[in-house]
A = this chain, B = another copy of it.
Amino acid sequence: MTDDPMAGLAHSEAHYFNSYNHHGIHEEMLKDEVRTRSYRDSIYQNGHLFKDKVVLDVGCGTSILSMFATLPKPSWPPPRAFLDSNAGAKHVIGVDMSTIIEKAKEIVEVNGMSDKITLLQGKMEEVVLPFPQVDIIISEWMGYFLLYESMLDTVLFARDKYLAPGGLIFPDKATIYMAGIEDGDYKEEKIGFWDNVWGFDYTPLKHTALTEPLVDTVEMKAVVTDPAPVFNIDLYTVKKEDLAFSSQFSLNVRRNDFVHAIIAWFDIEFTACHKPIKFSTGPHTKYTHWKQTVFYIHDVLTVETGEKIVGQLTNKPNEKNPRDLDIAISYKLETEDPHRVASGAGHYKM
């Protein structure tokens, strides 16, 4: 069993990664404590904002956010925050394209909320809502790297068509951050691997591997630079065309080390809350199912404390499939040591 890569894993940790079952993504999201608790608290702690309001849940999935906003009497003893809350929307409309909505309807029914929650299967652009406008939009629309396969377009469509003047959006701010990491061993395992596969030259797949960002957990101790924000959106004002962007970054090197990859993550804010709620998907805090996104660079940068890695991040939706992303990262090590000068650029698809 010593050759078994699972050997170090407890049973439940091994199970944790199982994404085979059809509803696995919903299980993963519901079990993502950081995500679900942030949404719950943003609603439960702000009952005064939800009371008697019409709420639209864009991409409602299993309807957990719709139920939070409805605040019914659940069959199970509710958590303390539940009992303390004054909230209770007048009506919640949940919209989702997926067949999961059939299960959501059953769940809403067994929780006695069918008269308060209307669930509609279809595209946001096509469904007919039972209300001409809504007071609040709630949505968990974020994808890997914030924007990969995200439903943000759909949220913006719903905002422009249905949100009443002065209406609220939960959450309403998102920021992408970047940093440089030391990741030599794993870069060798993922990229170097293709140099010799069972005795053969697999370099055609090495190129592919370099163009595909990894979605993975990065340990804080691997982070070599300060983080830097590179993209920020306000959901009240952002337009679809703003999601194709180009942004400069400057990463301050914290210690003498090597940099094999640039990573990105995002923070989310609910600023409409009485006491603002935010969460991060960065390497410095608790695990979320979004993990971090790792972009291996061609070079290995040899960096010293106080130097900077400057560059540019460009992102645009893929022309063929707008839910996919074409990402470019250029980088340059600003150093006074001529032997360590390095710059380059990578193109990535996700």
Interface residues of A (CB under 8 A from B): 1, 3-23, 26-27, 30-31, 33, 36, 40, 62, 64, 67-68, 74-79, 82, 103, 106-107, 110-111, 144, 185-186, 189-190, 193, 195-205, 208-209, 212, 214-217, 219-220, 222, 286-287
Contacts and interface: CB of A to CB of B under 8 A. Distances in A.
B5 A103 contact: no
Closest 9 CB pairs of A and B: A106-B204, A17-B17, A4-B287, A21-B212, A75-B201, A76-B196, A78-B199, A20-B215, A74-B199
A103 B206 CA distance: 11
Copies of this protein in the assembly total: 2
Given A18-B214, A199-B76, A204 B9 contact: no
A201 to B, nearest CB: 4
Nearest to A196: B76
A110 B197 CA distance: 13
Nearest to A71: B199
B204 A103 contact: yes
A202 B23 contact: no
Contacts of A107: 200-202, 204-205
B1 A286 contact: yes
B204 A110 contact: yes
Contacts of A205: 23, 26-27, 62, 103, 107
A8 B10 contact: yes
B200 A15 contact: no
Nearest to A197: B30
Contacts of A20: 144, 214-215
